[in-house]
A = this chain, B = another copy of it.
Amino acid sequence: MTQDRDATRAGESVVPLPERFDAGVIFIGRIRTPFTTRDACPRQGRQDGPECQIVLDEPYAAGLQGLEAFETIEVLYWMHEARRDLIVQNPKGDGGTKGTFALRSPLRPNPIATSLVRLVSIAGPIATVRGLDCLDGTPVLDLKPDRCAYTPLAPPKAG
């Protein structure tokens, strides 16, 4: 018998999803990883982990221009298999609870993950990186240069 990994555990609290969302996201591509089940995903990515491909849909590939200058990039993706209604969680299954915002668990009202990854190469619409821990086929939302390496290019502001 398989344990239901999405069952609510002792001490957990739920906030029902609202009837309407406040804004919409676009899946700009998919992530290819060697992790084909949720159990196979590591708890945190490592920058010496396996190579993964971030494959952008065609209209978005032009947005990669210039990203090759950065060693470390931030990837935002949508954890499409995670339940969104847990606001207090029992992550160890031992009755000890934590608020969702004190955890980096995939289970959260907006299941958006942020990962810092090492950029290996860019070829056409595909960025190859190391350091992801997500399921194969995960939708991508965004890529950005790591904030540490990044200096804004826009002119300074008055005030």
- The chain A residues found within 8 Å of chain B, CB to CB, are 13, 15, 17-18, 20-28, 39-44, 59-60, 62-67, 69-70, 74, 76, 78, 80, 84, 87-88, 91-93, 97-105, 108-110, 112, 114, 116, 139, 141-145, 147, 150, 152-159
Measured in the bound complex, the distance between the Cα atoms of B24 and A59 in whole Å is 21
> Can you spell out 20 A-B residue pairs with CB atoms less than 8 angstroms apart?
A17-B26, A21-B25, A23-B25, A26-B109, A39-B157, A43-B154, A60-B109, A63-B100, A63-B102, A63-B108, A66-B98, A66-B102, A67-B99, A67-B101, A76-B112, A92-B155, A93-B154, A104-B145, A110-B142, A112-B112
Tell me, rounded to whole Å, the shortest Cβ–Cβ distance linking A120 to chain B. Answer: 16
Residues of B close to A114: CB separation below 8 A: 74, 76, 114, 144, 147
